With several copies, the nearest count.
Chain A
Amino acid sequence: MKKIMNDPNEIVDEMIEGMIVAHSQLIQRVPETGIIQRRAEKTGKVGIVSGGGSGHEPAHAGFVGEGMLSAAVCGAVFTSPTPDQILEAIKVADEGAGVFLIIKNYSGDIMNFEMAQELAEMEDIEVESIVVDDDVAVEDSIFTQGKRGVAGTIFVHKILGYAAQQGKSIKEIKKLAEELVPNIKSIGLALTGVTTPGASQASFTLGENEIEYGVGIHGEPGYRREKLQPSYDLAEELLTKLAEEFDVTRRFAVIINGLGGTPLMEQYVFTNDVKKLMDKDEWSIDFYKVGNFMTSLEMQGLSLTLLCLEDDFYMEALSAPVETISW
């Protein structure tokens, strides 16, 4: 896999530098760390911190800014950042009202964020957290690590970021987060695997006409391979999987998320099919995001996220303006 890069070991560092020069009005780097911090003024509100491995750009740094994240921590490619880095991010995000961590459900992320939380508490910073596990592709997850956190995390960033901006307390944010996450479900599909910088082979390889349902955002294999179907059928497969997860409420916010190598044209075609299918079921979509939000390097494919709009606060939060690079 050809990549525009220099030394694969420096790729995250150079990416952060590039990001900073391009968006210096909005963000700044905490020197010598993988932490990107917003430039917004501190106002004594709860800080929101997210992060994880790199390779998912614009996540997470693209969502740093007034009304969303206070800071994001970038680990190595597909590798959770370390506790000391997360601790540092907690410190810069702390405005006196505590810091809330948004963690995706991976062993590595959980352990590193947990250790950071312990370290922060030793320094008397109040820290709470939520683990996002929106990916319904993983079956049989009860006795294991559970489900993965994927693109639905972006909704968590936005809604909790808004709550913090509104001056909610860390306990209120914790409660909001616990109610919110079970309402978010995602599932993806891939047309290609993904190759990490410097690696000699792709995570997996698909045939010339083959796709895979249920892949993760780190090249984790999915639940089924088959021949590429028309977009409408792909949308139907993903929506059917998601529909099993919801019952009463039929109003949704949707993310159609490109995985990095999928042109916008295809994402919009797919959006059109999702809309058609939702109309057929008389499910309404009140809010759309279409684009590359939580990617997997150059992977071709996309994911579909539904957020059940149970609480009116969700729409209020989603519609509020923010100053970030990528929301």
Chain B
Amino acid sequence: MNMDLQTGIRWMELFNEDIQQNKDYLTQLDTPIGDSDHGNNMSRGMDQVIQAIEAESPDSLEALLKLVTSTLLSKVGGASGPLYGSAFMGMLKILKGDNTSSWDKVLRGGLDSIQKRGKAEVGDKTMVDVWAPVVKSLENKQLTHVVIEEAVEATKPLKAKKGRASYVGDRSIGHIDPGAYSSALLFQAMLKSEEK
């Protein structure tokens, strides 16, 4: 897929809408295996992202990614703040290095950054379990809404090894990971932003 400034802004807007709509659900997911704040964290962060975009009107995709990075890093906190922040920072790095990078390469940079920061592997029941298959499918030009949905669902039977959910051990089994769900919203929004 291709990404440019307009699509990027639309992506963030769509992502924000989905986050605000699913705020309570995300917090609910974060209740049995976390600390009931993922909805709040993402909602606060994306609200600020939209405000920042409106206030600063970034004039390039690079400027947009930079703005999203710094806003998420400075407004979210918790685990998701540095992770989503790192993701956009990783994407930004690739784009900066080579302005003509394909979008799947850029997203791969995001995933690498998440893993560098959070040390989670595939199967640890984190957002990585959505990012990894999404990036792979994109590389194979096979990314669809179904792929994303399946990736989220697949976190359910896993036992958490990273993040707060790891503290509940076996009892994390049977629950969808909240960060995986919000990442799914991110990629659904990305697909929708392009569809338009």
Which residue numbers of A lie inside 8 Å of B, CB to CB? 9, 53, 75-85, 106-108, 111-112, 114-115, 138-141, 143-145, 148, 196, 198-201, 203-204, 216, 218-221
Contacts and interface: CB of A to CB of B under 8 A. Distances in A.
Contacts of A75: 77-78
A219 B44 CA distance: 21
B96 interface: no
B82 interface: yes
Contact of A76 (B77, B118, B164, B166): B77
Contacts of B75: 82
Contacts of A111: 79, 82-83, 86, 117-118
A203 B31 contact: yes
B27 interface: yes
B37 interface: yes
Contact of B160 (A77, A79, A84, A144): A144
Contacts of A84: 73-74
Interface stretch (B104-112, B145-153, B167-175): B167-175
Contact of A108 (B74, B77, B160): B77
A79 B74 contact: no
Most chain A CB within 10 A, of B40, B44, B168, is at B40
Interface in B119-178: 160-164, 166-169, 171
Interface of B: 24, 27-28, 31-32, 34-37, 40-41, 44, 73-83, 86, 117-118, 160-164, 166-169, 171
Nearest to B28: A201
Given A9-B44, A114-B117, 19 more contacts: A53-B78, A75-B78, A79-B76, A82-B73, A82-B77, A83-B82, A85-B74, A107-B79, A107-B164, A108-B78, A111-B117, A115-B73, A115-B117, A140-B169, A144-B160, A196-B40, A199-B36, A216-B167, A218-B164
B144 to A, nearest CB: 30
Given A108-B82, A138-B169, A220-B167, A199 B77 contact: no
Given A108-B82, A139-B169, A145 B37 contact: no
